[in-house]
Amino acid sequence: MARIVEEPRKSPGLSFGSMDPDFRLETERLRLRPYREEDLDDLHAMFSDPEHMRWYPSTFSVEETRGWIDRRFEEYREAGFGLWIVEDRQTDEFLGTVGPAVRIVDEEPHVEIGWHTKPGRKGQGIAPEAGEAARDWAFEQLEVDHLISIVRPENTGSNRVAQKIGMHVDRETDYKGYLHRIYWLDRVTWEGRAGGTAS
């Protein structure tokens, strides 16, 4: 069960206003927090790794990684939430990124739960643990009736993560020029499962 240490001001719909930089969401092993400028080196080490980025068109340069961070800040300003940094609660080690973010799929806005786990730490249950926390936060704090995850069919690891956090394949569609599976979890199903609570 994730524990919110600090949370942003709540307001209707998908908008909270600017995200509180002191927001923290903790699980048994992990701490989720907003992005900071100083995350550049850790993120670039992950996004410049060819194996990690094999499901993307290419690896990221330093400038592209900086652009990724800037887009997270834009999400915080526009929606009041977005992807978070994942850290080890005991050591403060950077482990990856996770979180809810608004994505346009087939011309419709959805809140997606997305994740990256840094090379060397995959297969340790980090993405499912962080993804579950992000999923629960989104259903508890946002007025949404469903969540999605967008996953390439060939990406077996992320397909497993989506399934572990309770999602099922709703359809396949073109997303940014590549075939993706759209995983789906509705609020009613989430509320009916252990740990799900009505907001």
CATH topology for 3-7+19-192?
A: Aminopeptidase (3.40.630)
Domain boundaries, the chain: 3-7+19-192
pLDDT at 71: 96
pTM (2 d.p.): 0.88
DSSP-derived secondary structure for 20-89: PTT-EEE-SSEEEEE--GGGHHHHHHHHT-TTTTTTSSSPPPHHHHHHHHHHHHHHHHHHS---EEEEET
Tell me the pLDDT of the chain (199 aa) as tens digits: 555 454 443 333 344 457 888 899 999 999 999 999 999 999 999 999 999 999 999 999 999 999 999 999 999 999 999 999 999 999 999 999 999 999 999 999 999 999 999 999 999 999 999 999 999 999 999 999 999 999 999 999 999 999 999 999 999 999 999 999 999 999 999 999 855 444 4
- Residue 184 CA from chain centroid, whole number: 14
